[in-house]
Copies of this chain bind each other. A is one copy, B any other.
Amino acid sequence: MSNRRDFIKGTAAVAAATTMLPWMASATEIMAKQKKIKLADNTVVLFQGDSITDAGRDKNNMEYNNQAAFGNGYVSHIAAQLLFDNPAKKLKIYNKGISGNKVFQLADRWDKDCLELKPDVLSIMVGVNDFWHTVTGNYKGTIQTYKDDYVKLLNRTKEKFPNIQLIIAEPYAVKGVKAVDDKWYPAFDDYRHAAHEIANQFNAIYIPLQEVFDHAQEAMPGKYWTGDGVHPSPAGAQIMATAWLAAFKG
């Protein structure tokens, strides 16, 4: 048992040290002020979202804690670290992100891909397609559609699981990299702000990804962190994992 305590102490030290990276400092200061996720035994953790979350996962694989089912993006890094740091807790971690999804498409599959899994911790990252697909002309939804759909989805979730721990990640974009040009602004900012407001409204932990990616550009240009302005590079996925893991420390 003292082993267990040392173990947990060691893990917390890792997380604390991580916050020392200077260009992560501002974002992690925000994280430090926030509530933290409580990981009790048998906690079910579900990641939901679009292609950034999906990250090439095997959608025929329905297992939890399975590498192919995690894909190879930020979820893979977070899940591996959580399973490494909390070996005795019998966590069950799922990734159910699907490429291209907007909020209404999460809603369409919410019974199967969320409620039936009975998540204790639910992380959602969605919004970039709700905006992007309007620029490319494939989608007619507005910022109000995004807000309404998102609030409806979360109300539906909280009704079923009043004590669920929510994580809402900010949709981000890296300006000047490939897909992300002037046409995105200022309209895209409204989606970021809406996600923040909704996170506050639902008392969720908010992952300030735009700030994280903005600060990362103090170290290297945007294209180092994302190939197309939207999807993270391996280094970008590690930034995201670091930001998320700050919510799981302490």
Interface residues of A in 42-88 (CB under 8 A from B): 55-56, 65-68, 70-73, 76-77, 79-81, 83-84, 87-88
Nearest B residue to A218 via CB reads: B3
Distance A126 CA – B184 CA, assembled complex (angstroms)? 48
> Are A10 and B3 touching (Cβ within 8 A)?
no
Do residues A72 and B67 form an inter-chain contact, with CB atoms below 8 A? Answer: yes
Query: A9 an interface residue at 8 Å Cβ cutoff?
Result: yes
User: How far apart are A79's CB and chain B's nearest CB, in angstroms?
Assistant: 6
Smallest CB-CB A-B distances: 10 pairs: A10-B20, A72-B72, A83-B235, A84-B238, A80-B238, A13-B17, A87-B220, A87-B219, A80-B234, A14-B17
- Cross-chain contact of A16 among B17, B79, B83, B224 (Cβ < 8 A): B17
Contact of A23 with B by CB under 8 A: yes
Shortest CB-to-CB span from A62 to chain B, Å, is: 15
The number of chain A residues touching the other chain, given as a range, is 35 or more
Contact A3 B22 (CB under 8 A): yes
Contact B14 A18 (CB under 8 A): yes
Q: Is the CB of B17 within 8 A of A234?
A: no
Instruction: Give me the interface of A with B, judged by CB distance under 8 Å.
Output: 3, 6-7, 9-11, 13-14, 16-18, 20-23, 55-56, 65-68, 70-73, 76-77, 79-81, 83-84, 87-88, 216, 218-220, 224, 233-235, 237-239, 241-242
Q: Determine if B22 and A6 form an interchain contact, defined as CB atoms under 8 angstroms apart.
A: yes
Q: Are B6 and A10 in contact (CB under 8 A)?
A: no
The interface residues of chain A, by DSSP majority, are classed as helix
Q: How far is the CB of A53 from chain B (nearest CB, A)?
A: 13
Q: Do B84 and A73 have beta carbons less than 8 Å apart?
A: no
Closest to A66 in B: B234
Bound CA span A219–B70, Å: 23
Nearest-CB distance from A174 to chain B (Å)? 14
**Complex Cα spacing A77 to B6, Å:** 24
- List chain B residues, Cβ under 8 A from A238: 80-81, 83-84
Question: Does B22 lie within 8 Å of A233, measured CB to CB?
Answer: no
Given contacts A10-B17, A87-B224, contact A71 B70 (CB under 8 A): no
Contacting pair A70 B72 (CB below 8 A): yes
